Every structure is written in C-alpha cells, then in structure tokens.
Amino acid sequence: MNRFCDYKSCQYFNKQPSIEQRSKLNKVMCPLCMNANYCSNRCRDLDWPIYHKEICKKSQPDRARSCNDTIDSCSTTSVRRKAEEFEIISIGSKLELGRGSYGSVKLVKDKQNGLLYAMKIMNKRQVFEYCSVENLKREIKIQRRLVHPHICKLHHYFEDKENVYLILEYAQNGSLFNYIKKRSKLPENEAFVYFFQTCLGIDYLHKNKIIHRDLKPENLLLDHEGNIKICDFGWSAESLTEKRMTFCGTYEYMAPEMLNKQPHDFSLDVWSLGILLYELLHGNAPYRGKNNEELGNKIKSGQPINFALTLSNDVVSLIKSILKYIPGERLTMNQIFEHPWMVKHASNYNIEIQTYVYKTQNPTRQIPTANFQSKQKSIDIQKKEPLSRPISQDQNKLKEQSNNYKPYQNDYKQEEFNKPRISRISNRNEIMMHQHQLQQQQQEEKLSFMDRVFLAFGCLNREKK
C-alpha cells in the first residue's frame, strides 16, 4: 500500500486519510534523502531518531555523516554575524549565565559595539536528535519580530558547524523564579509591578496573534533595573483563527483545557497569569502534587484554592476571576487591566494603566518603563529591598495560623520546592516513550500465539520471557 505517513506510530501509517483530513495535513519529507514522506513535521521529527536516521544514512552516506548538513537543510536563514565576533565574559568564577535543555547561555560582549548580550548556544546534534527543529525555527521566527520593553529581544541568530547561536538581550538579574525563592513571597504592591509588566508583554503577544504557552517565573527574566523580560518562545504558537492542540507547558501552570487535551487559545496564557499572581503572593503555585499525575488531577478537578488571609479581597477576587475552569469565563486582558486591584496599585505608583498598554496602531512605540521605574523606589535585587515594607514574619505567622491556608513548603521537601520546574513533556521524553512502547510491541509480536497464552497464565519459560 502507498503509505501517507512513514512514521510507524502514526495513524496514517496503515490507513489513508479521508479527502477532508488530507486537506488539513501538510505533506513533508526527509530533507536529506527526499524519500521518506510524513503527514506532519512532528512525525518527521519523531521518526528520525527512532528509525529513519539509520536508513537515511545508507541512502545518502556523505550528507548524513556530517551533522552540519542535516541541520543546514532544516535551519532558518542565517544572518551575517559569527561567533568569533563575540567575546565570552566570565562573571566571577562563573562561565555561564545558565543552562538550557540543549546547551548553555553565556554572557558575551559584541566586539563591534562593546555591548553585552546573552548568547544561547544550542548544539545542533542535540537539537536535531532530541528536540524538534521546528520548535527552534518557530522560536527564532517568532522572537525575532517581537519588539516590546517586556519581551527579551532576539538581536541576532546564526550557526556554525556545530551550534546554533541566539544573541539575546542580557537580563542581568536572572529569573523571577530565583528572585521569588530568595524573597519567599512578595507584598501586594511589589507583586503588582511584576504582574503588570508581564501582563503588558502577554497583551502585546496576543495582539500579535501569539500564544506563549509556557509562562512561568522561570521564563521571566529581570533586567538591570528589575524589569520583566519574557523569554523562551520554544513552545509559542501563532494562532490566527483556529484553536491549537499541542500538549505543552509546565504542569503547575497548565490550564485545565490543556490537561484535558482540548483545543486551546489565548485564554491559556490568561490562566498562567492567574497562577503567576498567586505564586508571587504566596511563594508557591496554588496546585502542587507529589508527581505530575497527582498535580494534573488536582487542576482538572477544579477544586477551590486556598488563599492567605493576609491578602486583600481585591486581589483574591482578581485571581479567582482569572482562574475560571471554563476558558470563556476567564477575564480578558482588558478586564484584567481594568480590575479595581490593578487600578488601585497603578494609582499608588502614579501611573495610568492605559498609557502603558500596547497600542496596535503604533507597534514601535516604546513604553517608558524607565520613567515608570524612576517614579518608584528602584528595585535593587542585590539588596533584596521590597518596594514597600513587608508584613513582619511574626505578623504573617499569626495571620496564617488563623486560617486554613498552609504554605506548601511544609508538605513538600524544600529541595523539591526550590528546583525550577521542567517545561512540558519534551520530544526527548516522547521519543523515549515511543521507543519503549515499540520495543514492547515488537517483543510481543515475536511470541507465538501459544506463548502468549502461556504468558497470560504466567507459565512461559524464563529464557523466552
């Protein structure tokens, strides 16, 4: 039979799609041998490390021997910069700003203009073998056209024989995740600043038809003035009209529709904003579990969440109106900006929210965050000084004892609690899961009918088993 998709685990491996289904599928082929056909980029990426890699090498030995060829044929167009034009700067004894799933992030100085950037170095072999090249292409394609004060700017991208390089705006003060862990939790007026700036960035993305899909404090960086910079667009998607289906994100921040494998839209990010505001104020996400399954079930059950009694009614009402189980019932970005809690805190900082909200008519307009920062006491991350005096620990203790809110640190090991959370089920895990399932399937196929009957009764001889 003429197969529609060459990936053995795809539903179209043995079955032809209907004409209607066919119109929705993209025909793609292996860029090396041009022989294997797939119904989607996902099937091509999953098939490569499991089966096709070996066959492909046989048919095009010269090309496949070199990893560069493989990535070149899939990569986005490079621009004219080179890795040698950037000098790596060490901070104290540290040579890296951080480590991502597919490589490291280093502080570099552009030799041409002396400016500092963060250089994300991704090893091509790892990207090609374990992560979807499509994800990397999407990350570059989306991030390069975004210009907003609260979105980490992608200045250049290029590749050499071994690596793909992203030259990013340098966020000097690390991630909001580490900042929250240092401070344990933030008072409402300080939480407002981070929440508001994140909302401005997300609103800009949504107005540009982009859903971030992996919003969490680990992906919110802080620049030298403590301003939010949204980063990591590896799971972002352009959503023009139709809803999206890919299962991605980080469990603690996943909306019920994602966990229920239902189509999702922009309201997915709105849910994550509600979780973010809760985490800023409590130091932990509202739903936690001993494993992802337990955590996912808690979110899917829609059980009410506990709030610290020290919080104002306004902020509790805002979080509750965002964390609505049904996506259509959640506040829109505009309703968030107009919520009394937002308006009250904005007026405390002498700002008018609407003057900061992105106006689509003038996409290059810069929101004057520097002025915004100078109107308040600057956030000195090193000194860990909050914008307002936090309620003393004793006062907190008394108030928390008087209600049934329990900080999660008591229920879970502290090391677990301080670890950054891992994004989504990565392709790497997915590939391993598929490999395992297929091995089991092949094992079962090797057994004869009678062997399987014996196996079912538990009396198959040991060697065979």
Task: Closer to Mg ion by CB, 232 or 257: give it.
Answer: 232
Q: Who contacts 166 (Cβ-Cβ below 8 Å, separation ≥6)?
A: 119, 120, 122, 139, 140, 143, 154, 156, 157
CA distance 200 to 333: 9
Q: Tell the smallest beta-carbon distance from residue 280 to Mg ion (Å).
A: 18
Nearer to ligand ATP, 216 or 345 (CB): 216
What is the footprint of ligand ATP within residues 389-428 (CB under 6 A)? 423
- Number of residues in contact with Mg ion under rule CB under 5 A: 1
Q: CA-to-CA distance for 27 and 39, rounded, in angstroms?
A: 5
329 annotated as ligand-binding: no
What tokens appear for 332 in the block? 């829109």
CB of 57 to ligand ATP, least distance (A): 27
Q: Does 232 bind Mg ion (CB under 5 A)?
A: yes
Give me the DSSP letters along 118-184: EEEEEEHHHHHHHS-HHHHHHHHHHHHT---TTB--EEEEEE-SSEEEEEEE--TT-BHHHHHHHHS
Q: C-alpha angle 44/46/48, rounded to 5°?
A: 70
Among residues 30, 136, 152, 367, which is the contact residue for ligand ATP, using CB under 6 A? Answer: 152
- For residue 24, give both structure tokens: 């929705």
Owner of token pair 């493989």? 70
C-beta of 141: minimal distance to Mg ion in Å?
18
Distance CA 186, CA 190 (A): 6
CA angle 94, 119, 229 (to 5 degrees): 95
For position 157 contacting ligand ATP by CB under 6 A, the verdict is no
For residue 214, indicate whether it is catalytic.
Answer: yes
Q: How many residues bind ligand ATP (CB under 6 A)?
A: 21
Paired residues of 105 in beta bridges: 98, 120
152 to each of 19, 117, 180, 231, 446, how far by Cα in Å? 43, 11, 20, 5, 53
According to CB under 6 A, which residues from 80 to 119 bind ligand ATP? 97-102, 105, 118
| Longest distance between any two alpha carbons in the chain, whole Å | 80
- With CB under 6 A as the contact rule, the residue among 45, 190, 232, 279 that binds ligand ATP is 232
**149 part of the interface to ligand ATP, by CB under 6 A:** no
Site for Mg ion in 187-226 (CB under 5 A): none
Which of the 8 DSSP states describes residue 236?
A: -
Identity of the residue, 188 or 214, whose beta carbon is nearer to Mg ion in the bound complex: 214
Instruction: Report, in this order, helix, strand and coil percent for the chain, each rounded to 5.
Output: 45, 10, 45
Contact between 247 and 258 under an 8 Å Cβ cutoff? The reply is: yes
| Shortest Å distance, C-beta 247 to Mg ion | 18
Q: Angle CA(332)–CA(356)–CA(320) in degrees, nearest 5?
A: 30
Q: Provide, rounded to whole angstroms, the least separation between the CB of residue 253 and ligand ATP.
A: 13
Binding-site partner at residue 102 among Mg ion, ligand ATP, none, CB < 5 to 8 Å by type? ligand ATP
- The verdict on 234 binding ligand ATP (CB under 6 A) reads yes
Indicate which residue of 214, 223, 265, 269 is catalytic: 214
- Whichever of 249 and 327 has its CB closer to ligand ATP, that residue is 249
3-state secondary structure of 392: coil
Sole binder of ligand ATP in the list 39, 46, 108, 171 (CB under 6 A): 171
279 binds Mg ion (CB under 5 A): no
Return d(Cα 122, Cα 274) in angstroms, integer. 32
Q: Based on CB atoms, which residue is closest to ligand ATP, 120 or 345?
A: 120
Residues that bind Mg ion (CB under 5 A): 232
Residues that bind ligand ATP (CB under 6 A): 97-102, 105, 118, 120, 152, 168-171, 174-175, 221, 231-232, 234, 423
Binding site for ATP: what residues are annotated?
120, 169-171, 218-219, 232
Catalytic annotation, residues: 214
